[in-house]
Structure 1
Amino acid sequence: MTPTPALKPLLLAMLLLGSAAVFAEAPGAAKPLAELTRGLQPQPGFIQLWRDVEQGRVLLSVTALDQPFLLLSSLPYALGSNDVGLDRGQPGELRMVRFEKHGKRLFLVQDNTRYTARSADRDERAAVNESFAGAVLWSGEILASEPAGASAPPAPASTKAGPPAGGAAGATQAPQGSAHLVDFSSFLLADWHGVAAKLDENKQGAYRVDAARSAVLAAQAKSFPDNVELEAILTFQGPGQAEFVRQVAADPASLSLRQHISLVRLPDAGYQPRAYHPSSGGFDTGYFDFATPLAGSIDVRWQVRHRLEKTDPTAAVSAVKKPIVYYVDRGAPEPVRSALLDGARWWSSAFAKAGFKDAFRVELLPEGADAMDIRYNMIHWVHRATRGWSYGNALADPRSGQIIRGAVTLGSQRVRQDILIAESLLAPYGKGADGAKAQLAEQMALARLRQLAAHEVGHTLGFAHNFAASRYGNGNGSVMDYPHPVLKLNGAGEVDLAEAYGVGVGVWDDYIVNYIYGQFGAGKQEEAALDRLRAGAKAAKLAYVSDGDARAPGASHPDGLLWDFGPDSIKTWDQLTAVRQRALQTFSMDVLPDARQSGELEARLVPIYLLQRYQGEALARLIGGGEFDYGSSGDIKDGIARSGVRITPAAVQRQALARLTDSLRAEYLALPAKLLDVLTPPAQGYERGREYFGTRMNSVFDAFSAVEAASAQSAGFLLDAGRLNRLAWQHARDAQQLGVRETLGLLLQRTWQRGPVGAGVAGGEAVQLAANWVLLDAMLNLLDGAKLHPQVDAELRQQVREFGQWLAKNPGKDVVAHSRKQAATLIAQYLADPRSVKLRPLPAIPPGAPI
């Protein structure tokens, strides 16, 4: 029958419902988002997520497509090997990424932030983007899509610890479109931190993630308004045969670590970046901007720094909108914890002097807080199998230099090395000792730890090393230098450690905080204020030399020195010579606590015997050395910086050379007889490690190896190719300056060509011969290294030839004669046919740094 008008809507509704039912039941049909997430734990926030603990999955609901954000990996659980370098709390590479939709899949794409065009012209921007490769990091199937907000759960309650006062700045919410549900688990189970690559790089073998023994930790997934925090356990399968993994892992073939992933909203546009200046004392980040006017540089660099804003920008001193807050690892025990809190807090005074009231704070991490949460600036107390370096990482927005997070890694065994050095200098464990000296040793180590905490936090604030700061004021001048303990003898001739390390930040540190964080307006006003600050630093003689001109053994800047102290390298050398002599004379079993096995005495001898290793490098910097300034062309024209290199005066170079050549003489190198007589081989179950001198005498102490290590140190500094090339050039320009011939001539006169060693020196002639052979090996290795300019090589080669002739004419007696004859033969053979001679490498030197 024909339906009446009243029945038509009802029949139509029934027909539609029937069609929908058929569609819903069709095989392979997509399920709605609400059904796919039913029963799961929702986490609204920057990116809404669901925890699927039962299936070990994390589902993301992505609404903002083509909206960039930051991605960071870190390691909450790590390997524990300083040599490999995979530490607990270690941050990885900060990447700028975004989600793209292609068909039924979402792509996670990393943008190439190194090359850009900051232009209003879309085509100009596109031309650069199309010229340099980006990267698709991951793709996943879209499980469901629906209008954004349709299935949104209620807003989350605050976290147990509460949001930190510092950390990443928030931004306005991105535009909302469709919500696309994806399973993000496969991304979390991939090695984004580069663990396998790091193991391979350090020759530990080829490792790969074993999916069957890896899992997403869904219960730990968290989403906040500006960040998402995700974690997985990754098990790396590999050969397990290499030294470092065998040293630290429960099963070296199965390394289980945890990888943390942070997804972070980009900071908003309110931050005012500061142009980087080469004499600022800071770190930079940047990019190549192809939209720069033709006369400008495309190399754009911004100062790396936290966002810090006064509530009243016009006031000289003002409270801040959001303070910078750092958190100390709860795993740090006392008295270490208090030392870390105290040292890191030193920076608060510098911020106060720069006009920021209560702007910098350091607190203990709240109980229950996640130390990997990117909102927390962290000071991690990290354990490793051996002592090693500490680090400060400033993770910054690549577009502007704004620091998103500071992450400090402090190796726990360094403090024990400081105590070992102090005990070896003080010998506090003799009979009748009252414990005062042992307490002083611990106090020195804690003083160093305070300085270390301030130093590494300084890096995370955007500050670079200043290795010239030891030349001025406040103990070691700046916490951004590497400090050697300030050692001296008191009136009674005893080693004095009472003021070994400075307290608080120095004048350089006040300068860099003001320069990098101070508020001076904008544009020309800011530029003029910064110019005045640099001019003031010059007037105050605040020198600045950083890593590029300090770390190489042959570096030329006399002030770019690691682990030195004092304004005059020669005077400090003489001061440390007296301290070293006293420490070796008093070195005995009293430097070792009663419970330690006696063989450990050798390890305590190493830093005392090599006490002047860093000051020896300071002497070498004077030889062929020259000062220069960092700056801009404008600074030089305005008199703020000087151009060119100012060669070290000839008289100073010769004084340094005389002292450094003396360190290759038996009188310096020989150990006191009573010290040699107490050295005992390691006990059963113990063995020598890297902190000991090598030995070719089986279990007993090898004095030759100690002498050779010390000689290799001095010879390596003196016979650096860059240094000899500079000596040749400075002598060519000025005949009154030290040159290659004079340098090598004095070296040979003080060693091979010297007279007999006095009878009072224990094993004197044998010690001198050991040093002589290291020097000759260093000379031949220098010739074989092909790093000398041809004319410098010719000059050195001729001098070696003449030395060989001298050896033949001056054969000497007894053991000296044997060495001279063999040396003459070796020289002649090498000069005639270098390929016929297998040169000996220089002896290994036990590690000194870090101290």
Structure 2
Amino acid sequence: MHPRLHPPIRATRSALSLAVMSLALMAQASAQAPAQAPAAANPPAPSSAAAPATPNSGPQPFASVVKNATRMEGLFTLWQRDDKVWIELAPEDLNKPLLLSPKFSSGIGERGLFAGLMASRWGGGVGKQQMVQFRRVHNQVQLLALNSLVRAQAGTPSARTVEASYSPSLLGSVTVASQPHPERKSVLIEANGLFLSDMQGLGMTLNRLYRQNYALDRANSHITTARAQADAVMLNVNQHFTATTLAVAQPTPAGAPSGPQPSTPGTLPDARSLFMGIHYTLMKLPDQPAAPRAADPRVGYFQTAVDDFSNDLARTPRQRMINRWRLEKKDPTAALSEPVKPITFWVDRNVPLEYRDTLVEGILEWNKAFERIGFKNAVVAKIQPNDASFDTLDGNVASVRWMVNVDPSFGAIGPSHVDPRTGEILDADIAFEGLSSRNQRWFRAATLKGVTDWAQALQAHDALREGLVPAPQHTDAHPHSEACQFADRAMEQLHYGLDVLAARGDVQPDGPEAKEFMLNVLRGVAMHEVGHTLGLRHNFRSSRAYTWAQINDPAFTAAHGISGSVMEYPGTHLPAPGQALLPHHGRTRPALGPYDYWAIEYGYKPLAKEEEAEALQRIAGRSAEKWLAYGTDEDNSLGIDPESLSDDLGDDPIAFARSRVAIARDMIAKQETRSLKPTEDYAVLRRTLGFVAGDLGRAAGILVRQIGGVKTLRDFPGSGRDPLQPNSAALQREALDLLGKHFFSAGAYALSPALERRLAPDFAERTDALFEGERTPTTMYSFTNQLVDLQKALLAQLLSDGVAGRILDSEAKLAKGEAFPLAELYQRLGQDIWSELGGAADIPGTRRELQREHANRLAAALLRPSSGARADSRSLMRAQAKTLLARIQAGANKAGLSAEARAHLQDVAETLSLALQAKLQRSGV
């Protein structure tokens, strides 16, 4: 969790040699200089402070070093002359904890190297907050990253043990540049030697991203600005990275494993050279640490965790504190009071004018929750003036910024930096990726690859991650930053919703209703990300707060919204085919839900210290109330809980999935007769079907999650509910019925040949993709094959060891006869997937693909059972293989089969027969 030592040390050695040469030359130049006057209070710098030094006599006099330099007073006094910046350190500045906040000030617009990014994407990379201190060792001053993960009460033997057991990390080191000031006793260190080194490991990051030998070019790197304030100093550096040669991708030999191949940034005029800007803030930590508030698993807050070894009798040394802003009433006796210091967000001057008011509305919406607990105007939003002297990247300025990335990756994020001693939030930077950037990515994906984000939607339902599709790679230290996909999901559903409503003639895609729809989505994204910056985590169970009937009641949703929390990823509410368009459908103005009010109460309600523990337990004890239901990322991603889902609505998952399937079927039918304008190209059909496939994937993910689902409730004793509750057999059967009918049935979503011939790509996008290095810009597209891939993913999940284990284990959690039998699941899948064996119809190619997948999985379970396979599961699969083999042998000679279908059945029969006959080493008899 700490930066590596070696890169900073290598960079420091180079910097030290330059510094030594520079000092020697400066000493020679000043050897004959006359004595200078004492230092002035303000710039310019003093002309002299002591007698001149002789060559090789050690550091120069203070005044000689900063001669003609500009002085900046602040947390530390900065001195700047040309390209040199010095930091003045007094004796009391050493060994004092500070917060180092680094952020990208400029980037290259791809692969996460984005201007304005706070969140650390690579663990130890740019954006990782660190508690640091300056330490002097003889004539060196080191910048150390302190180990804030462990502690013990100061002055105790345990504190001495902790100090000896856990190491800090060295970020950089420089030689003392001056003799002590005659009056202040302070010394100078050269900031260039510290902050122009590759402190953040960007060279390593570039090498990992592109497999090229990028290295820091120190000679062409410089400090662009330096500023000082009473509680912070800010340095903006521009670093040049270069690769003297560029590797090229090599074809992988046949049979050899494929690995990462070299690539180059696509946004540079010359891929051998790039500049990255880093904005450093070195800020004072609060003199009086904020009062920490204990975390509770029933309420979703990000946490700062510390192992405190002060008490050996504690069950665990781990102490968990919620992340929250310091909010104190001006008048503690008033029922409603303004705070001493409000939570202030600055909307950066780079945000487009047309979106600023909407973003401000989303920010200020949270004041409703704070008013409930006695704070007036707790949250403030301001627009940064064009002539502002501060930067919204400053480590003590909470902000909302806009990005235009050619390779968008997150939509919007809301990371924060906290005091690692207490969890107090000190800074937050919400970042929005431009709508045009994201539209380009979605539309290009939809027309060149035939998909939008449906595969990603399945990944989000991590029940489907047991071998189905690769999990998204998120390695940041703050799970609420890159891992937050709310904006991407919301905007993708916005476009699908507009497609649906436009196809029915309810909305003009470029009309005022469409704009209102988009602004409401943007407002909701702002509210969601502000929630993260207030400390709140996702709540994927809050969609269950309202019934399906309430969701379809316009009066109810106008007052309460469509989910119990804005920290949910709610599905867009669209009318079913034939249902009249109501004002709230798909365009409900986002609203704080009951969970949001409750969570803010837990985190921010003023409580007397002696009453806090009891009061917090009382607040968290309401978690069993339906409207306060909470389930977060791990509840979703572990793939067990059927209620902690994204992209759903209401408390009836079957009703929601059925509605979305009906909408998808209607959209497919409309494309058959859709007439295009002369100004449109055929890619719009392909794009629409890509959105349809994505929504079908989400509906299927919701359904498959019900099979073997076990609700994992976070209740404490006394709630009246058991924490582990398997889904009822009736609910699982209903979900399986819908999967069988709409996803495993023959010809479920067949398109006409005429429509298939019209599904052309966007040829301009294809040309761009080809020249930008994409290896396989797709021309051909099969919607049916795309659905076959979805079927295979669903089948893999339903036949997985995890689902089998949960179904078998549920028998012990339910009364006899109430559990859903595993044998029934396997039997139903065999019937649905091989339905053609019981009739006279031929077996189309797409069905043969799915059937082959089913047979191969049965054979693999018999030949290569995994270590996690349950005995009953394997036995039932063997029985299923025997039954299927007999059915295939009986149907292989029926009339009406094509040569391909007959060969398919013969081949599958042989596969199953060989698997059943194989001699296996068995444990036991």
Q: What is the TM-score of this pair, normalised by structure 2?
A: 0.77
Pick from 621, 642, 654 the counterpart of residue 733 of structure 2.
654
On the 8 A contact 1:49/1:60 being kept in 2, the answer is yes
Gap change, CA 1:138 and 1:317, over 3 Å in 2: same
Do structure 1's residue 475 and structure 2's residue 562 form an aligned pair?
yes
Aligned position for 1:76: 105
Q: In the aligned structure 2, how far is the partner of 1:696 from the partner of 1:89?
A: 31
Gap change, CA 1:425 and 1:469, over 3 Å in 2: same
Aligned position for 1:462: 535
> Which aligned pairs between 1:540-555 and structure 2 lie closer than 5 A?
540-552=626-638, 555=639
* Post-superposition CA distance 1:262-306 (Å, at most 9, x none): 111011215211111111211110211111241443111111001
Aligned position for 1:156: none
Pick from 516, 520, 541 the counterpart of residue 607 of structure 2.
520
Q: In the aligned structure 2, how far is the partner of 1:348 from the partner of 1:328?
A: 17
* Post-superposition CA distance 1:372-399 (Å, at most 9, x none): 1112111222222244323211211111
Q: In the aligned structure 1, how far is the partner of 2:767 from the partner of 2:916?
A: 41
Give the CA deviation at 1:425: 1.6
On the 8 A contact 2:207/2:213 being kept in 1, the answer is yes
Aligned position for 1:388: 409
Do structure 1's residue 62 and structure 2's residue 89 form an aligned pair?
yes
Q: In the aligned structure 2, how far is the partner of 1:442 from the partner of 1:750?
A: 44
Gap change, CA 1:313 and 1:792, over 3 Å in 2: farther
Pick from 396, 404, 412 the counterpart of residue 426 of structure 2.
404
Number of residue pairs aligned between Structure 1 and Structure 2: 767
On the 8 A contact 1:584/1:609 being kept in 2, the answer is no
Give the CA deviation at 1:405: 0.5
On the 8 A contact 1:613/1:713 being kept in 2, the answer is no
On the 8 A contact 1:570/1:656 being kept in 2, the answer is yes
Backbone CA RMSD of aligned residues: 3.3
Pick from 106, 118, 123 the counterpart of residue 153 of structure 2.
118
Do structure 1's residue 449 and structure 2's residue 483 form an aligned pair?
no
- The residue identity in structure 1 corresponding to 2:785 is S
Pick from 795, 798, 808 the counterpart of residue 889 of structure 2.
808
Give the CA deviation at 1:233: 1.3
Which deviates more from structure 2 when the two are superposed, residues 193-202 or residues 488-497? 488-497
Give the CA deviation at 1:117: 0.6
* Post-superposition CA distance 1:758-814 (Å, at most 9, x none): 99xxx9833433433444456567775836334155235414532344323331522
- The residue identity in structure 1 corresponding to 2:146 is D
Do structure 1's residue 826 and structure 2's residue 911 form an aligned pair?
yes
Do structure 1's residue 532 and structure 2's residue 618 form an aligned pair?
yes
- The residue identity in structure 1 corresponding to 2:418 is A
Aligned position for 1:625: 709
**Corresponding residue SS for 1:211:** strand
Q: Which consecutive unaligned segments of at least 5 residues does structure 2 have?
A: 1-48, 120-126, 249-260, 439-487, 547-560, 921-925
Gap change, CA 1:212 and 1:708, over 3 Å in 2: farther
Gap change, CA 1:665 and 1:440, over 3 Å in 2: farther
Do structure 1's residue 363 and structure 2's residue 382 form an aligned pair?
yes
**Corresponding residue SS for 2:177:** strand
On the 8 A contact 1:720/1:782 being kept in 2, the answer is no
Do structure 1's residue 180 and structure 2's residue 266 form an aligned pair?
no
Q: In the aligned structure 2, how far is the partner of 1:796 from the partner of 1:249?
A: 58
Aligned position for 1:582: 666
On the 8 A contact 1:382/1:409 being kept in 2, the answer is yes
Gap change, CA 1:770 and 1:801, over 3 Å in 2: closer
Aligned position for 2:557: none
> Which aligned pairs between 1:430-829 and structure 2 lie closer than 5 A?
435=508, 438-473=511-546, 474-489=561-576, 491=578, 498-523=585-610, 525-552=611-638, 555-587=639-671, 595-631=679-715, 635-636=716-717, 639-640=718-719, 642-662=721-741, 663-672=743-752, 675-683=755-763, 686=766, 699-731=779-811, 734=816, 736-754=818-836, 765-776=844-855, 786=866, 788-792=868-872, 794-795=874-875, 797-799=877-879, 801-802=881-882, 803-811=884-892, 813-814=897-898, 815-828=900-913
Gap change, CA 1:134 and 1:829, over 3 Å in 2: farther
On the 8 A contact 2:292/2:321 being kept in 1, the answer is yes
**Corresponding residue SS for 1:186:** helix
Q: In the aligned structure 2, how far is the partner of 1:463 from the partner of 1:261?
A: 26
Gap change, CA 1:345 and 1:143, over 3 Å in 2: same
Q: In the aligned structure 2, how far is the partner of 1:782 from the partner of 1:398?
A: 49
Q: In the aligned structure 1, how far is the partner of 2:720 from the partner of 2:308?
A: 28
Q: Which consecutive unaligned segments of at least 5 residues does structure 1 have?
A: 1-19, 151-177, 836-851
Q: In the aligned structure 1, how far is the partner of 2:515 from the partner of 2:840?
A: 40
Gap change, CA 1:86 and 1:833, over 3 Å in 2: farther
Aligned position for 2:199: 192
Gap change, CA 1:450 and 1:41, over 3 Å in 2: same
Aligned position for 1:322: 341
Give the CA deviation at 1:723: 1.6
Aligned position for 2:447: none
Gap change, CA 1:32 and 1:331, over 3 Å in 2: same
* Post-superposition CA distance 1:505-548 (Å, at most 9, x none): 1111111111111112113x122222222233423542110111
Gap change, CA 1:822 and 1:545, over 3 Å in 2: same
Give the CA deviation at 1:371: 1.9
On the 8 A contact 1:240/1:246 being kept in 2, the answer is no
Pick from 259, 264, 281 the counterpart of residue 262 of structure 1.
281
On the 8 A contact 1:247/1:385 being kept in 2, the answer is no
Q: In the aligned structure 2, how far is the partner of 1:418 from the partner of 1:438?
A: 18
Aligned position for 1:209: 216
Which deviates more from structure 2 when the two are superposed, residues 587-596 or residues 110-119? 587-596
On the 8 A contact 2:52/2:60 being kept in 1, the answer is no
Do structure 1's residue 143 and structure 2's residue 146 form an aligned pair?
no
Q: In the aligned structure 2, how far is the partner of 1:587 from the partner of 1:758?
A: 31
Q: What is the TM-score of this pair, normalised by structure 1?
A: 0.83
Q: In the aligned structure 2, how far is the partner of 1:790 from the partner of 1:336?
A: 55
**Corresponding residue SS for 1:587:** helix
On the 8 A contact 2:75/2:230 being kept in 1, the answer is yes
**Corresponding residue SS for 1:611:** helix
